[in-house]
Structure 1
Amino acid sequence: MSERSYDFLMPSVNFFGPGVISKIGDRAKMLGMKKPVIVTEKFLKELKNGPVEQTIASLKQAGIDYVIYQGVEPNPKVHNIEEVKQLYLKSGADSIITVGGGSSHDTGKGAGIILTNGDDITKLAGIETLTKPLPPLIAVNTTAGTGSELTRHAVITNEETHLKFVVVSWRNIPLVSFNDPTLMLDVPKSVTAATGMDAFVQAIEPYVSVDHNPITDSQCIEAIKLIESSLREAVANGHNLAARTKMVEAEMLAGMAFNNANLGYVHAMAHQLGGQYDAPHGVCCALLLPYVEEYNLIACPDRFAELAKFMGENTAGLSTRDAAMLSIKAMKQMAADVGIPKTIKEIGAKPADFELMAKNALKDGNAFSNPRKGNQADIVKIFQAAYDGKF
């Protein structure tokens, strides 16, 4: 890689480890929060001694008032962020605390964006379009997957067009993030698998991205190794705290990596699947991963050969290309082991939609850092391969 300059973005403070959720009240007080909106999902709100209850207990101990929005949906919609904004204004709130996985964090970010940068978030899609800071934002993470608690990405679905779009800005990065693995012990197997595969993809795409650098490379490598050694165990036994802890470490590393080295066609295409069919983001990513990366392989075969080693494959004596192909095999095996569907047909994908989805994927903010530059016909072919289960 030629020498070049690059920046590196992450929250100013990241709390990690069992029990750190108790520090939320103190940190909120340090930030001057008087009345945050807690943005979360209904089932988390109702979970006894769950992350929302523990967040509230810590806020009360610090003498901080709050109001709750519990309407977060998977693949958060424009109407979700507008509802948070209205609650924020009506209640006299002054800050936001997101509690949950990527959907909660993206909803909170989206609400913050339209509170300070204009009512129509669809006009702010793109990279560094925000001119004003968001209200103070804390993210309490409950899944080992998206990395949204520490990244600059806010992914929102336009329910009218079924199109997912991304607002990418350093202003979206939460001021403080919390990753407490004890909050994840009761996460269902299907969610553990989907979010874990999202983290896996978010460690792989930055490693082959045109924007990778030595710092993000090291994060990707360690994240991949951690996921290889823990995701299957976390799916098999959700109360395996050691596996849960490794997965949190991995998703944080992957989040920091893609926050800086960006992603690629897997995410650009997954956003179209998720938006069109309201399918889980991590499942969409996992289904597309091997087909996109097999397409990408000729752009940087040496990087894929290295990935195979990190994934535990024996590449001794193999050519670079043969070693690289083992990484594709390992990606498929990981998805199969944790119970991901085999094809996008199983989540409702229809070939009639591929042309439009391909067109929109190439406009997605993640497409520009993909190592191989494709056209609409290429993307349609990848969608078709993921539909058929083979190239």
Structure 2
Amino acid sequence: MSLGVALAIALSGVVGYTLGDSGDGGGTTTVQITDEIGFGILEEIYAILEEDFVNPEALDPELLKIGAINGILQALGDPHTVYIDPESYELGVDVISGTFQGIGAQVEQDPVTGAIVIVTPFRDSPAENAGVRAGDIVRTVDGESTDGWTVAQAVRRIRGPEGTEVALGIEHSDGSTEDVSITRGTIVIPTVFTPPIEDEAGNPVSDLAYIELQQFTDQAVTDLGEELERIVEEGYGGVILDLRRNPGGGLDATIRTADMFLDDGVIIIEVSREGEESVTSANPGGPATEIPVVLLVGPGSASGSEVLACALRDNDRATLVGEQTFGKGSVNHLRELSDNGALYVTIARWECPNGEQIEAVGIEPDVEIVFTEEDIEADRDVQLFAAIDYMRENLTRAAP
């Protein structure tokens, strides 16, 4: 069971983080608790509040506990280390079944401003159909400001049963604002899509293959491998792999995806809390190690997508077309807690094969193409058009 994937499906009731599931995070925590650092002062403060505070109705023990936990974690300065309450965690595990109820988007917290940011809406989800875009900032939920909220708080307020509505105050990346009413639905967790595509002139594209990969899961790896084998066997001139709606997933699935395109070379460098480096290299024998590749990337490409983009770019196996990626450069795992909740904790940072740091920065594309408002209104995918043109013009040079 990939808990990293469960955490990637934000707004289903769990916190939206990716590239988790390091493989050693299962089981309930059995940490021995001492008071060497003075956490007993919290009990002392609560006792005084019970005796003296002017508004005793505000002394909700559960809310105060959550506030204390979030305060500790926020003091770390790491937006990827979060507490998941029992209700959210239980629903997150249920997501593994393949569907969930919500608006169908992933959120993160901006590590600098603390704003709640849409990493990506899923294809044909209520969020996407309502006009929510990657990079949007959620300023309000049902009229209440999100200032000071954690991702967990935002998720709890936005998620909900199918058929119910939630109102979001959205700030788009161009600074414009919009109030959006979204009817929640049942979301099927996406994996691999291969729709037919057209070039800018409206002609069907038959010489190049197009694959949209929306999650790094075990099933996605299987589906992608089968599709790549078909593409190579049928003699396509190149493949365009679309990661613009891919917030990440399991680390193992990400590495196995990179293996499909690489015969050798470094995929990822993990740097532990002790500063020790662990290098993961490619295994030969993948189905698509020679076919030219263009990766479509953007603000909705996070975590595992950024690992793959770095690995293929730095090993001269792909050209990146689109916009700057999200910028999540951490490896996380899950520790279950005694209250049936969980702690999602950053255990390492990762670097590109060339040593580039991604956290809070992202990856610049080789060919930058930015959507205009006119492109969006006309539903014109100029980034895909650019990828098609680049692939056709550079097939010989791109081939290994």
Question: Same fold per TM (> 0.5)?
Answer: no
Computing the radius of gyration from Cα coordinates, the structure with the larger value is: 2
The alignment's TM-score, normalised by the length of structure 2, stands at 0.28
Quick check: which one's helix share is greater? 1
Q: TM-score, normalised by structure 1?
A: 0.28
